[in-house]
Chains A and B, each alone.
Chain A
Amino acid sequence: MRVLIIDDEKIIRDATRIMVQDAGHQGESVGNAAAAMEQLRQTPFDLVLLDVQLGQTNGLDVLRDVLLLRPGVPVLMFTAQAAAPLAEESKRRGAFDIVEKPLTKAQLESILARVQMSPQAG
């Protein structure tokens, strides 16, 4: 699977990309919304991992842009602070799921499996 990681923190971006690669998939990472849209325009991805708080940009706005550009792509939001209202709002706006950082290997594997099973994938 091709996975795009969008996070403004380099340490999270790198670690998540390596985790995806260690799990046997192709991971690419970008640090802002503009770079993410550029990547998505060029290449289709099977899964997008998106930080809820992308510096000054609201991840929910990026979620909207991603889904407009690539309707149906599963977007997993991750956040430093899990809050129930935010989780509901993300799902309402079409996010695949939301998880609290740090993303663990087990979590990533279960998400990748769910994406592969999901009719949205591809």
Chain B
Amino acid sequence: MNHSSPAATVLVVDDQEQNLQVIGTTLNIMGYDVIPALNGEDALKRVAVRIPDLILLDVLMPGMDGVEVCRRLQAEPAWAKIPVIFLSASDDKNVVVQALESGGVDYITKPFNKAELVSRVRTHIALKQARDGMQQLAEDRDELLGILTHDLKNHLAGIEMSAQLLRDRHDAPTGDARTLVDNIATTAAESLLFLRMFLANHAAGRSEVNPVPCDLDAAARAAVERARPLANAKNIVLSPELPPHPLAVFADPAALGQILDNLISNAIKFSPPGKSVGVVVARELLGAVSVTVSDEGPGFSVEDRARMFRRYGRLSARPTGNETSTGLGLYIVKRLANAMKGRVIVAPATDKGASIRVELPGQK
């Protein structure tokens, strides 16, 4: 054991007091803190007071048996990660399988060998501590990323604002000075876009979606309006085809907005000026609803299809108006759609541009 960390706690559940004593003494000698419980109900009460690092759980007990205790532990998110090692006099394989299927990590038959018991306890506690450590690391990383990106975004936003203000003033710089100001504004804007995409990808990766009933047509209409300035700047016509009545979708509003924004901005980005981008909302089979975004750009090549949903997977086509492409847009669309039990379908290759349909569950 690592003596610098506090002693690990083991909850031992057995209806035989003698067993509790033998196991308790054995584990105490090895430096573990032992909490005894004589039945299932008592065990759950103990866990509610203090979460142990491991549970040794007798299968056959009067009242609530070990399998039921394990099921209840699994049902509680705060308890589901406690490793449970079953103890039983029964060698019946059906009992073993049933116990392990209820969420146990291991199984020891009684009468047990002390060295084996200690060795298994040690292994599973070490595994649990390693898992906890990984989770802590992931949380620390997320927090650090959050702080970094937040601060960076703030600074970049300030730089972009300042450069644009300078460019728009009556005494705005000209010639080379103007080029320099333009470069500062553009680079800041591109870096901001990248950060935004990066954050969206991060959120998608952690599947932070909470689907609720909402209107797909309203969401699509709002996304089209958001994209209008971008489309107007390239003289692209946005032609939404929305149903006359609200079409319910079961989706996370923010994730849905992100999916629509990514698809529409991609379509605008890869469309030659003067063309049109279609946004069609429709009802699908089996209660699903869909939104299809299509453009009249170069479409996807065979190679594109292989890597289009990969992270940072930029495709063969280049933006037609000097826009930035992070290679994250479609990847995020797919992750978010999947997290909401939806799917992304790419229309077969044609010479008429790209068309991507996202299907999501209709209202439950």
Q: Which residues of A contact B (CB under 8 A)?
A: 9, 11-12, 14-16, 18-19, 22, 53, 80-81, 83-84, 101-105
Contacts and interface: CB of A to CB of B under 8 A. Distances in A.
Contact of B161 (A16, A53, A84): A16
Contact of A80 (B154, B161, B169, B253): B154
A19 B161 contact: yes
A81 to B, nearest CB: 6
Interface residues of B, number: 19
Interface in B143-178: 149-150, 153-155, 157-162, 164-165, 168-169
Nearest to B146: A81
23 contacts: A9-B155, A11-B155, A11-B158, A11-B162, A12-B157, A15-B158, A15-B162, A18-B165, A19-B165, A22-B165, A22-B169, A80-B150, A80-B157, A81-B149, A81-B199, A84-B253, A101-B157, A101-B158, A101-B161, A102-B158, A102-B161, A103-B161, A105-B164
Contacts of B253: 84
B157 to A, nearest CB: 4
B254 interface: yes
A102 B160 contact: yes
B107 to A, nearest CB: 44
Contacts of B159: 11
B153 A101 contact: yes
Contacts of A81: 149-150, 153, 199
Nearest to B163: A15
- Determine chain B's interface SS by DSSP, over half rule: helix
A11 B153 CA distance: 12
Nearest to B149: A81
Given A81-B199, A84-B254, A12 B169 contact: no
A80 B192 CA distance: 10
**Which among B150, B155, B165 has the highest number of chain A CB atoms within 10 Å?**
B165
A15 B153 CA distance: 15
B199 A14 contact: no
Contacts of A9: 154-155, 158
Contacts of B149: 81
Contacts of A84: 253-254
Interface string B74-111: 00000000000000000000000000000000000000
A25 to B, nearest CB: 14
A101 B157 CA distance: 6
A18 B253 CA distance: 35
A81 B46 CA distance: 42
Nearest to B154: A80
A103 B153 CA distance: 13
3 nearest interchain CB pairs?
Answer: A11-B158, A102-B157, A101-B157
